[in-house]
Amino acid sequence: MSSPSHTGRRAAAASGGHDIELVPGRRELDPARANRLDKRWVTALAVLVPVLLVSFWQVAATARWIDVRFFPAPTQILADWRGLLDSGDYATHLGASAQRIALGYALGAAAGVLAGLLIGRARLVRKALEPTIVALYTVPKLAILPLLLLILGIGEASKLTLIAVTVFFIVLINTNGALEAVPTSHIEAGRSFGLDRIDMVRHIVLPAASPQIFVGLRIAAGMAVLALVGAEFVAAESGLGYLIWNSWNLGIPSYMYIGIVTISVLGVLANGLLRLAQRVCLPWDR
């Protein structure tokens, strides 16, 4: 048998005359370089795919393969976006939506986590409320918008409430589930060290439950966008939802695309922000 020609593991096995040689690959020989190349490729692809899609769209629109009344060329959309920017309308719509979603989400999330902790720690209360919560959770939140408009009027309050309620139930249910999943061994360890109720929540229950709570927070962020757009479609004079809906009335389809892309960018940003928050808040959870 030949001796290894380079550093690294080499094994050989005779199996009917065909030796199987196990040697280090490119990745094993220079892991740092392989990772660097990997990263470059992944980044390149992540950028390349949308760029290609948009280019294809541009070509298709210019060549009139597609109906530009419904699918205006990206350059056209960009030009209309410039116009919206210059008039200040874009900032108004973006600002209105961002404010609604930030406030509504913060309210709903905070209330959801708090209520989840309170209910989750009191068995009797939880058993009493569970069916009601599930029933309320099941109601599509947009269905209560007319009621909210009736009670709170057409102003900001109704939209904030709709978003907050949407977020509240998702976060509440996830928080409850998270509390149920906290290992008893951790709870009992806490109890045996004589922690009081507040310390128990602060040092044991909340940290143990927080990875799952964060999952709820992330799902809720997506649903909050849905509620926002829905509310702005029917009951707003500003906001990205209004921009999209109104572009139909005006017959300017590029505004729809501007609104849609902005919303999806908002969603990606929110998700990234929550991921970052999770990494900062839960450095132990890798």
Partner 1 sequence: MATAEPQACRSGSVHDTRPRIAVERVSRSFQSSTGEVVALADVDLTIPDGQFCCLVGPSGCGKTTLLRILAGLARPSSGRAVVRHDDPRRLAHSVVFQDYSVFPWKTVRQNVELPIRARGVSKREAAAAGREWLRRVGLVGFEDSWPAQLSGGMRQRVAIARAFACDPEMLLMDEPLAALDAQMRLLLQEQLLALSQEEAKTVVFVTHSIEEAILLGDRIVVMGARPGRVIADIEIPFPRPRSPAQVRKEELFGELHEYIWSLVRGQVEDQLRLDKATS
Binding-site member from 48, 53, 54, 189 for partner 1 (CB under 8 A): 189
In this complex, which beta carbon is closest to partner 1, that of residue 23 or of residue 195?
Answer: 195
Binding-site member from 193, 234, 275, 277 for partner 1 (CB under 8 A): 193
- Region from 156-164, 170-178, 235-243, 277-285 binding partner 1, contact rule CB under 8 A: 277-285
Size of the site for partner 1 (CB under 8 A): 21
Element (H, E) at 57: helix 31-62
Binding-site member from 6, 123, 197, 286 for partner 1 (CB under 8 A): 286
Beta strands in 14-159 (DSSP E): 20-22
In this complex, which beta carbon is closest to partner 1, that of residue 36 or of residue 191?
Answer: 191
Angstrom distance (rounded) from CA 27 to CA 31:
5
Using CB under 8 A as the binding rule, whether residue 215 contacts partner 1 is answered as no
Using CB under 8 A as the binding rule, whether residue 282 contacts partner 1 is answered as yes
Angstrom distance (rounded) from CA 204 to CA 178:
12
Least distance to partner 1, CB of residue 22, Å: 28
What separation, in Å, do the N-terminal and C-terminal C-alpha atoms of the chain show? 44
Using CB under 8 A as the binding rule, whether residue 285 contacts partner 1 is answered as yes
- Region from 18-26, 65-73, 232-240, 278-286 binding partner 1, contact rule CB under 8 A: 278-286
Total length of the chain? 286
Using CB under 8 A as the binding rule, whether residue 78 contacts partner 1 is answered as no
Using CB under 8 A as the binding rule, whether residue 207 contacts partner 1 is answered as yes
Closest CA to 166 of 255, 124, 226: 226
- Region from 29-37, 109-117, 183-191, 238-246 binding partner 1, contact rule CB under 8 A: 183-191
Angstrom distance (rounded) from CA 173 to CA 176:
5
What does 227-266 look like in DSSP terms, one character per residue?
Answer: HHHHHHHHH-SSSHHHHHHHHHHHT-HHHHHHHHHHHHHH
- Region from 35-43, 104-112, 193-201, 237-245 binding partner 1, contact rule CB under 8 A: 193-201
In this complex, which beta carbon is closest to partner 1, that of residue 2 or of residue 185?
Answer: 185
Angstrom distance (rounded) from CA 202 to CA 195:
10
Closest CA to 175 of 136, 234, 135, 121: 121
Q: Which residues pair with 13 in a beta bridge?
A: 20
Using CB under 8 A as the binding rule, whether residue 191 contacts partner 1 is answered as yes
Binding site for partner 1 (CB under 8 A): 185-186, 188-189, 191-196, 199, 203-204, 207-208, 210, 282-286
